[in-house]
Amino acid sequence: MTHADWLLVPGERGNPATRLDERRPDGRAWSEGNQVSYLVHGAAYFKELLAAVRAMRAGDLLLFTDWRGDPDERLDGPGTEIGAVLCAAAERGVRVKGLLWRSHLDRLNYSLGENLRFEQEIAAAGGECLLDMRVRPGGSHHQKLVVLRHDGRPERDVAYVGGIDLCHNRNDDAAHRGDRQSLPLAPGYGPNPPWHDVQLALRGPVVGDIEAVFRERWEDPAPLSRSPLTRLRELLHREDVHADGLPAQAADPAPRGTHTVQVLRTYPNRLLSGYPFAPDGERSIARGYLKALRRARVLIYLEDQYLWSPRVVECFARALRTHERLRLVGVIPSVPEQDGRLTRPMNLIGRITALDALRRAGGDRVAVYGLENRAGTPVYVHAKVCVIDDVWATVGSDNINLRSWTHDSELSCVVYDENPDPRRPADPGGLGDGARAFARQLRLELMREHLDADAVADAGAETGAAAGEPAQDALCDPVAAFDAFAEAAAGLDAWYAGGCRGPRPPGRLRRYEPPDLPVTQRAFATPLNRVLIDPDGRPLRLRRRNAF
């Protein structure tokens, strides 16, 4: 196995204008020698971020992008509001620079008011935060990154990338009682929607790659918006619309671990004038999936907010049709976030058609689940995670749908661990790749939470592990893991069907079956889904071939 079997090599990104693949003198399209850790749930991420920002000094550099920012969101209790924490950093001399999606109007349940307040607070403290509307019509900036660079202390440099915004709803933990500072979702989620999410903490040379992603957007000379009405609002609110210069980018931090990381993005093909760093757009997230899925043999494990669009899931369906041992497990929200008479069918139709395509391809080798907490409240799955054969793992802001793969700005990181995982099966896919420690451990931690399993299941006696071998988790076997999910969901479903008599079975999994939509709802929901909910941001030549 070589890195080129799983990762995009130079030229395969499909975007020669970006500086990402030209940063290393040896021409590699990824960085080696990184230390990556996963932070499951907003509470874990926010606590680490709080400590890291508070430790920054004058002359350090803090960069962030986000879809929504709520300045009053607490990172770890009273006095830790993210706006106040960033303002305090700026006031003590940290150079704070941020890009927030400008968003649509708040009366459409988006984030303009909160993002504007965030921008104003940071500016008053001496930082700079721009409201960026350089998107396709109906599109958004969906990247979620934070970069902390330390003047004279590069060993402390860190970048955070994943699905967790700096806003309400996100500060939940494994108990899934929800964030006390909540925004409303569909009524089924209750007043404090339980929230499942994942972020990466990245240390080592990859920090330079994430910083380069920020700099490309920050240095874009195009106006923040082309809309005359938005330009008028910018004047009325006295918004900062011109990015100040950044200091020269420091050298990448020194290698410090065993993780190879490739940074992938989505940028749309913008009409009239494209991004200077992606004039034809970039679809390297889609291309990364397409390449990795060609090597999938035994298990695709997905956690995804949407899992929409038959045009996107066709690459998963193709893998399932080609390899008869391949299984797919999906963990998704069991209830759409919007439950109105119009919005519910528009949200459901893409999922219904996508899951139908997957099940036609894989039959009972495809299993999709929703989550609930111990009180029986559905958990909103906002995570964007995929692990293939315990080798290739990706975490980011992108969902499995056409919008994320072509239309909005997105950012993800693929992690390949140079360290093999010694537990059996040593080579799940049978291609000589060998299970990798990071990918396997990420999958196991997520699966154990959903099964209510112990932190580490020592099944050595059951599996015949010899003395001196590492503790063997039964879930390491992809088939056993697939079956464990099915058994847990069946047990909980049966408990509900039986009137909830007796002790509640362990686990948080419910088998997901999409509802039937009447023909009339399908008729109006399908075109609206394609235009409003899951639009296509590809050039016409690629749309015709359903290529990326």
State pLDDT tens for residues 517-538: 999 999 989 999 999 999 999 9
pLDDT band at 500 (very low <50, low <70, confident <90, very high): very high
Distance CA 548, CA 543 (A): 8
Mean pLDDT of the chain: 92
Side chain identity at 269, as an amino acid letter? N
Q: What is the pLDDT of residues 125-152, one digit of tens each?
A: 999 999 999 999 999 999 999 999 999 9
What is the sign of the dihedral through the CA atoms of 219, 122, 233 and 143? Answer: positive
Cis peptide before 478 (omega within 30 of 0): no
Can you tell me the mean pLDDT for 214-240?
84
Q: HSE, CB side, 13 Å, CA atoms: give it for residue 528.
A: 13
Tell me the DSSP string of 449-481: HHHT--SS---HHHHTPPTTSPP--GGGSHHHH
Task: Give yes or no for residue 106 having a pLDDT over 60.
Answer: no
- When comparing pLDDT for 472 and 214, which is higher? 214
What pLDDT does 265 receive? Answer: 98
Distance CA 417, CA 436 (A): 6
3-state secondary structure 208-272: HHHHHHHHHHHCCCCCCCCCHHHHHHHHHCCCCCCCCCCCCCCCCCCCCCCEEEEEEEEECCCCC
Side chain identity at 41, as an amino acid letter? H
pLDDT band at 464 (very low <50, low <70, confident <90, very high): very low
* E-assigned strand segments in 12-116: 31-40, 61-66, 95-101
Task: Give yes or no for residue 401 having a pLDDT over 80.
Answer: yes
Tell me if 447 sits within 8 A of 483, measured CB to CB.
no
Distance CA 207, CA 443 (A): 24
Task: Give yes or no for residue 107 having a pLDDT over 60.
Answer: no
Distance CA 145, CA 396 (A): 9
Q: What is the pLDDT of residues 147-171, one digit of tens each?
A: 999 999 999 999 999 999 999 999 9
What pLDDT does 468 receive? Answer: 52
Q: What is the pLDDT of residues 2-29, one digit of tens each?
A: 899 999 999 999 999 999 999 998 889 9
Nearest CA-CA partner of 358 in 332, 413, 319, 397: 319
261 — phi, psi (to 5°)? -130, 130
DSSP state of 21: G
- 324: three-class secondary structure by DSSP: coil
H or E element, residue 381? strand 378-381
Domains of the chain in sequence order: 34-259 (3.30.870.10), 282-531 (3.30.870.10)
What residues are paired with 301 via a beta bridge? 329, 387
What pLDDT does 454 receive? Answer: 63
- 126: three-class secondary structure by DSSP: coil
Task: Give yes or no for residue 467 having a pLDDT over 50.
Answer: no
Side chain identity at 260, as an amino acid letter? T
What pLDDT does 470 receive? Answer: 56
Task: Give yes or no for residue 465 having a pLDDT over 50.
Answer: no
Task: Give yes or no for residue 463 having a pLDDT over 60.
Answer: no
Q: What is the pLDDT of residues 181-210, one digit of tens each?
A: 999 899 999 999 999 999 999 999 999 999
What pLDDT does 114 receive? Answer: 74
What pLDDT does 2 receive? Answer: 83
Task: Calculate what percentage of the chain has a pLDDT beyond 90.
Answer: 84
Nearest CA-CA partner of 308 in 354, 342, 346: 354
DSSP-H helix ranges across 377-501: 402, 437-451, 460-463, 478-497
Task: Give yes or no for residue 469 having a pLDDT over 80.
Answer: no
Distance CA 21, CA 39 (A): 27
pLDDT band at 111 (very low <50, low <70, confident <90, very high): low
Nearest CA-CA partner of 528 in 517, 512, 515, 539: 517
Model confidence, pTM:
0.95
What pLDDT does 117 receive? Answer: 85
pLDDT band at 497 (very low <50, low <70, confident <90, very high): very high
Q: What is the pLDDT of residues 341-356, one digit of tens each?
A: 888 898 899 999 999 9
Distance CA 91, CA 205 (A): 29
What pLDDT does 339 receive? Answer: 82
pLDDT band at 281 (very low <50, low <70, confident <90, very high): very high
Among 45-59, 94-108, 402-416, 462-476, name the one with the lowest average pLDDT: 462-476
